[in-house]
Structure 1
Amino acid sequence: MGGSNLEFGMYIMFPIAVMYYFGTNLDNRFSVPGFWPNENQTHKIPHDRDEIMSELQRMQQRRLERRAARLERERDE
């Protein structure tokens, strides 16, 4: 009855081997270099009142520039 020992070994050792294979060295095996942006590439949220006001003015100026460019294109058409 050697088959029952082999079956028992497969039932016990296969999950352990799979967990060991996929559980070790995860950072190097499943990592994608450059996937997460570094701190220089992310948005910086303003916290001070002056920073918030300058950001609002920058956004308004950008919106007005885009509007002017859009109106210019529509006038040319």
Structure 2
Amino acid sequence: MAGLNLEVFKFGMYVLFPIGIMYYFGTNLDDRFAVPDFWPKAENANRIPTEREEIKAELERLRARRLYFRDRRLAEEAARPQPPPTDETK
């Protein structure tokens, strides 16, 4: 008879424990445990382009950005003084 009582107890715990947790904390868990302004707004989030024109515009933007940084890097390298050549054959 002890085995049956243990099984009833375990079943009761499996069923009543989650129900008790839900009763204790309530139903508005999003309001109680949420951090305000944690997720970015839709207008600030990255959106993957899906239309053909959007993809072309994004590729053009990335190309212009890459060329801008390349030109800036080349200008900085040209402005940097070059070290004098050393003769390593001696």
TM-score, normalised relative to structure 1:
0.64
Greater share of helix: 1
| Percent identity of equivalent pairs | 48
Alignment pair present for 1:46 and 2:46:
no
**Runs of at least 5 residues in structure 1 that lack an aligned partner in the other structure:** 1-11
Structure (1 or 2) with the larger CA radius of gyration: 2
Matched, 1:25 2:28: yes
* Gap runs ≥5 in structure 2: 1-12, 81-90
Deviations 1:14-57 (A, max 9, x none): x53xx133354311221011111111111222222222112111
Normalising by structure 2, we get a TM-score of 0.56
Aligned amino acid, residue 54 of structure 2: E
Q: Aligned partners of 2:26, 2:79: CA distance in 1, in Å?
A: 63
Moved over 6 A (4+): none
Aligned length: 62
